[in-house]
Amino acid sequence: MIKQLAFRPVLSCGLSTWLWGALPLLALPLALSSCDPGQLEPDANAVAVNVLGLTSDATKLVVTTTLDGKASTNSSPQEVTTKLTRFGLRLAKTLSGTLTVAIDAYDADLCKVGNGTVSTQIGNPYRFEVTASMKTVSPRQCPPPPPPKTCAPNLFCWSNPLPQGNTFQGLWAVAANDVYAVGDAGTIHHYDGSKWTAQTSGTTENLLSVWAASATEVIAVGTNGKAFRYDGTQWSAESTGSTRRLSAIWGSGTNSFAVGEAGTILRRSGGTWTPMNSGITSNLTGVWGRAASEVYAVGDGGVIRKFDGNNWMAVSSPTTANLTSIWGDATTAVAVGANGTIVGLSGTTWSMQTSGTTEQLSGVFSPTAGQYLAVGTNGLMLRGSGGTWTPQGASTGLALTAARGTSAGDIWVSGASGQLTHFDGTKWASSRQGFETNFRNIAALSAKDIWAVGDGGLIAHYDGSKWTQVDSGTSANLTGIWAVSANEIYAVGDNNTFLRYLGQNWTVGAFPTVSQHARGVWASGSANIWSVATSSTPNQAWLFQYNGVSWSGFTMSDPGAPANNRVNNVNSMWGTTQGANNLLYFCGKSYVAFSNVTGGTANTSFGFPTNGAELRSIYGTSSTDVWAVGDNGLVYQNNGGGWQIVSTGLPMVNLGGVWRQSGTSDLWIVGDQGTLWKMEGTMWSAKETNTRNRLLSISGLSQGDVWVSGMNGTILHTLPQ
């Protein structure tokens, strides 16, 4: 049914929700609203859509449109989440033709439960009403379930990405339905032709390379000379007799060769590992051969070695750049490395090839004779043929590490943050789900209300079952978040970015322009918001307060200036109130500070580590229980009597986040290389997180319900979930 609508005066029905910039014909500009289109001023095509026959379980409509059979190109399909039985479309007045509206209905499980289509002519007189009759989809069409979470025993599970976010360092394809990927913290996954499944490696060492002679003879190697064999049923450790890092493995028949640190070359035959004389002390990082009597190894400084079946010999190399990987076919070979270096073998001569990039190249593979694929940092993929290299469309911005496959139409690429991407001859598809952006900070309010902020203005929310991106209104990197309650949350970041969430949407607020970058935020309420920010002036940081009306601020500098200038940068803050006083704690490069603010006066005291280490995170439970952590394993405590360095007896690793539920509960600290420290009572210990990603922030709901965020989209959650 199509009905022309007479123009009626605009009513106060939220007209602003209809506004959409005018775009060209095929861009099909439109907006959705529950308002009657007759309430619009007559400057556009307005279509009211009535929806009949919806099932009772429908919770959302997804609306797509075409004009004269040509698909919209301006945006993703629009969603209707309220008043599903009637909504409006607004299109530019200059458009005319046959508008087709396709409607899909979904339930709370995101399963399709209905669909319908309706068409109408648009153009003069610009007002139309149509009715779409929905057909029930039975059985309902549900999306595939997310990959299962990968968990560390008795501690953390991956919440993002899924199934896990460790870097995959090496790949090997026995067949299209028999592929192995190995990586950091002992990660091993197997592909059976339809899905990837985690396997138990029995180690937390980083696994760097894998090779297989068959489905029952698979060998993986990694750090500290570790090697593991899979017999078709389980993985078991093998003794290599070496403690050197083993970076790559390749084999032929019953013989395999592993190369690594300080010129290490090991030969495996019949299950026995034997050291070989490489003749060099340079690190070797790649190995490949045509047979057991023609094997090549490459490494640092452009070194190339060749094994002729008896001895390893030097080969003239055209480069001094570090080489990372090598592969070849019956007549050619290619090695890749630092700064986009590519060298090719033709006959017995290696020569330079032009890659067209300065990115680090980490892996190379030949899926078919004469054709090569090289991968590297920032999602770089290059296709090579005859010495000519051309870039391919990247499916990720993360570093890629290796490529293997069985044919030109069956190639897998591995990388950082659990990246496993497949090429079927036509398109690339990732097996990884979730965000890959760095999450700089995380705030936990309840089991169904977790917020994480990160680079590029990313804000993600967890509702108890899944993470969803929320519009932040900014593209600035976000570094700090503080939740007063579920309906009052603040976030800050680069370029003086200040965001506020009051239960509905995030909005960008005003922030002082005298500073450079907001780095931390704390608030006790909407009229008492504090933030720390960097300054363009050396030896200075800003401390700002918002009183509900305007911002005011204090400058903080080294009390020993000008002889000392140790107040550089600022990274984090925490605060509490004591009567009319605000007690504020913050830290940065070479210092940790406490400021007691009353009225317009700030009394500030500092702590300065003797080694000049940077303090990166600060958190407390009261004015007598404040902790700051930073580089080189530095831990500070303020128990109300000033700043004191705490001796943990643990390794000197850079620390990034600290959290504690109460003054008597366990203290949690996270940092680089997946570091997790706990102070239980007075005892310090390091715990295994089963990741080597850099961890930046930690928050929790209880001692047994803790969330961690970090680089490359890392979000971990303690068991059980």
pLDDT at 667 over 50: yes
Residue 42 pLDDT:
59
| Interval 9-23 mean pLDDT | 27
What is the spatial distance between Cα 656 and Cα 158, in angstroms, rounded to a whole number? 19
* pLDDT band for position 70 (cuts 50, 70, 90): confident
Whole-model pTM over 0.85: no
* pLDDT for the residue numbered 563: 87
- Give the C-alpha distances (Å, rounded to integers) separating 658 from 354, 459, 573: 47, 21, 12
Q: What is the bridge-based pairing of β-strands 361-368 and 371-376?
A: antiparallel
The three-class DSSP label of residue 464 is coil
- Mean pLDDT on 129-158: 82
Cα separations in angstroms, 111 against 72, 139, 469, 606, 680: 24, 10, 20, 57, 45
CA distance 463 to 19: 30
Weakest mean pLDDT among 267-276, 599-608, 653-662 = 599-608
Highest mean pLDDT among 45-54, 92-101, 173-182: 173-182
**Residue 145 pLDDT level (bands cut at 50, 70, 90):** low
Residue 75 has pLDDT above 50, yes or no: no
CB atoms within 10 A of CB 578: 11
Pair of tokens at residue 287: 């190995």
Q: What would the CATH number be for the domain defined by 2-141?
A: 2.60.40.10
Residue 109 contacts by C-beta under 8 Å, 6 or more apart in sequence?
A: 142
Mean pLDDT value across residues 36-65: 81
Nearest to 547 by CA among 530, 528, 531: 528
> Could you report the per-residue pLDDT of 237-256, keeping only the tens digit for each?
999 999 999 999 999 998 99
The Cα 368–Cα 330 span in angstroms is 10
Q: Domain 609-721 falls in which CATH fold? A: Methylamine Dehydrogenase; Chain H (2.130.10)
CA 481 to chain centre: 18
Measured distance CA(268)–CA(405) in Å, rounded = 24
pLDDT of residue 2: 31
- The residues near 623 (Cβ < 8 Å, ≥ 6 apart) are 576, 578, 583, 640
Average pLDDT score over the chain: 90
Least confident of 325-329, 489-493, 639-643: 639-643
Q: Band of the pLDDT at 9, cuts 50, 70, 90?
A: very low
- Cα dihedral 207, 209, 212, 216, rounded to 10, equals 0
d(CA 192, CA 177): 4
- H or E, element range at 32: strand 32-33
Determine the Cα–Cα distance for residues 607 and 592; give it in Å rounded to an integer: 5
More confident residue, 232 or 4: 232
Task: Categorize the per-residue pLDDT at 294 as very low, low, confident or very high, splitting at 50, 70 and 90.
Answer: very high
User: Which of the residue ranges 392-396, 535-539, 715-719 would you say has the lowest mean pLDDT?
Assistant: 392-396
The CATH number of 168-430, from 3.20.20.370, 3.40.50.300, 2.130.10.10, 2.170.190.11, is 2.130.10.10
- Find out whether 605 and 589 touch, Cβ atoms under 8 Å: no
- Is the pLDDT at 352 greater than 80, yes or no? yes
Give residue 14's pLDDT: 31
End-to-end CA distance of the chain: 50
C-alpha closest to that of 157 among 705, 712, 711: 705
For 297-315, the pLDDT digits (tens) are 999 999 999 999 999 999 9
Give start-end residues of each CATH 2.130.10.10 domain in the chain. Answer: 168-430, 609-721
List pLDDT tens digits, range 79-96. Answer: 898 889 999 888 888 888
Q: In which residue ranges of the chain is CATH 2.60.40.10 found? A: 2-141
Given pLDDT bands bounded at 50, 70 and 90, which one contains residue 5? Answer: very low
